[in-house]
Structure 1
């Protein structure tokens, strides 16, 4: 790995949450670059189709493993199996996660606990096991999919934003720890992407319509993510309008609160 992008041919790329949405599209784009793609998620029926398409795109073997990232024991078993059956992972994309938009005072804490298990703790378990392998060979790249919600929280996203703030904080410290080992860490912070994520997150079904031009296309985002694989890029922020808003949020907190409460309060 280096500052300049290396080719992905024959690199083993593991993507969690790879059965649908952004993870699925990242798998396809990596396969088109000649990577050996490994996808994981809970639903093996969906993974089987993604695996088949990846093999067609890459002309190489592709792999799929059912894995629930809220289950530490299952994570360990699957990561060990991947190491034995496929090889050491070169690039890890932690994409598995979910959200639910609701005010903090009425949020079911059982859902909050599960969200932290999936979005944060599951990501940490996977990362630690794969990073140990990367450290041993002194090469690797970890890409953690966070969110613009992890940079600027808005109403009804208190729990989801908390998980993504945690992902960014963890990634920022991990980046410093792994840099001497030639293992790079990148956070991807997208705004709303038109995927099935909002089937769960937005019960009203109106959020994407409200945010309009800020909605991102999953294929476009996937191409941007794959383009930075094998580089030391610190973070990717999309769309540009939210990146600017996020910077204002930290530089001018009162202005940031105004933007979060008015311009970006669409849930």
Structure 2
């Protein structure tokens, strides 16, 4: 049976692979995008009867609220929130704009989008949010990114408790092979150092779709990383002391 999903971050990375897979599976997709021309350039128009492109800048609250005007009397089977931003630099190196952008996109504007879409969500709709393992460990040179992701994790858990009629699933991942890292770390050092550990978005897409079918509450990938972080949280200061470099791999004090 055809279902209707609304997806953010749909022009690249995990969001794009989810759009392609859901279209392939015969579902209708509403892609919220800031750059409409880029979305058109991806040559998905052969599925126009399934794909609707809606302009939406996740940094602009008015743009988010305006999404409702494009939905008419639609009913949504799910929201998949793939938008995310982060800057791998020191606390003193973040600009005001970068700090605000991080929390707006990763936390605040997800909440606003949910409020905007709630009248259109079916009673048993899936709410899927892409989080990060970075929220479970203190990391130098990624403080605001990690803080925003643990805030997002708590927000998703609260949503699950407040709205038991929805299926709420949080996907906490390690590094994914997407363009995210080009903005987070323009030097390319992090991507070069950890490219072998990066998760392929196509593999994660399949796990997310299976997770929606099985109504899972949480997906953590890679599993070994989540296990290590659980151990870390048992004695964080001790582990930071004996394995300090592991918590400083996203930058250095020389970064501006």
1:66 to 55, 58, 63: 55
Who is 2:253 aligned against? none
Who is 1:30 aligned against? 22
Who is 2:215 aligned against? 232
Verify: 1:129 aligned to 2:112, yes or no.
Answer: no
2:4 to 9, 12, 32: 12
Report the secondary structure of 1:138's partner residue.
strand
Who is 2:69 aligned against? 80
Q: Distance in 2 between matches of 1:264 and 1:14?
A: 35
Q: Distance in 1 between matches of 2:114 and 2:16?
A: 19
Deviation at 1:119, TM superposition (A): 1.5
Deviation at 1:25, TM superposition (A): 0.6
8 Å contact 1:22–1:219 — kept in the other structure?
A: yes
8 Å contact 1:154–1:260 — kept in the other structure?
A: no
Verify: 1:167 aligned to 2:156, yes or no.
Answer: no
Deviation at 1:51, TM superposition (A): 7.0
CA-to-aligned-CA distance 1:94-133 (integer Å, 9 cap, x gap): 1112111101122212210122112211111111222343
Pair 262,173 (structure 1): closer, same or farther in 2 beyond 3 Å: same
Q: Distance in 2 between matches of 1:138 and 1:69?
A: 25
Which consecutive segments of 4 or more residues in structure 1 shift more than 4 A?
none
Structure 2 residues without counterparts, runs of 5 or longer? 251-256
Q: CA RMSD in A?
A: 2.0
Report the secondary structure of 2:199's partner residue.
coil
Who is 1:106 aligned against? 93
CA-to-aligned-CA distance 1:47-105 (integer Å, 9 cap, x gap): 2245726828xxx42111120012122111113312x17x1111100111211110112
Q: Distance in 2 between matches of 1:145 and 1:46?
A: 22
Q: Distance in 2 between matches of 1:46 and 1:211?
A: 28
Who is 1:152 aligned against? 137
CA-to-aligned-CA distance 1:126-167 (integer Å, 9 cap, x gap): 112223433xx4220100111111122311110111111111
What TM-score do the two structures reach when normalised by structure 1? 0.86
Deviation at 1:41, TM superposition (A): 1.6
Q: Distance in 1 between matches of 2:154 and 2:242?
A: 23
1:44 to 26, 36, 42: 36
Q: Distance in 2 between matches of 1:111 and 1:206?
A: 20
Deviation at 1:260, TM superposition (A): 7.0
CA-to-aligned-CA distance 1:218-256 (integer Å, 9 cap, x gap): 111111112212443111111122111221122232355
- Tell me whether 256-265 or 233-242 shows the greater mean CA deviation: 256-265
Who is 1:242 aligned against? 225
Who is 1:117 aligned against? 104
Aligned pairs, how many?
250
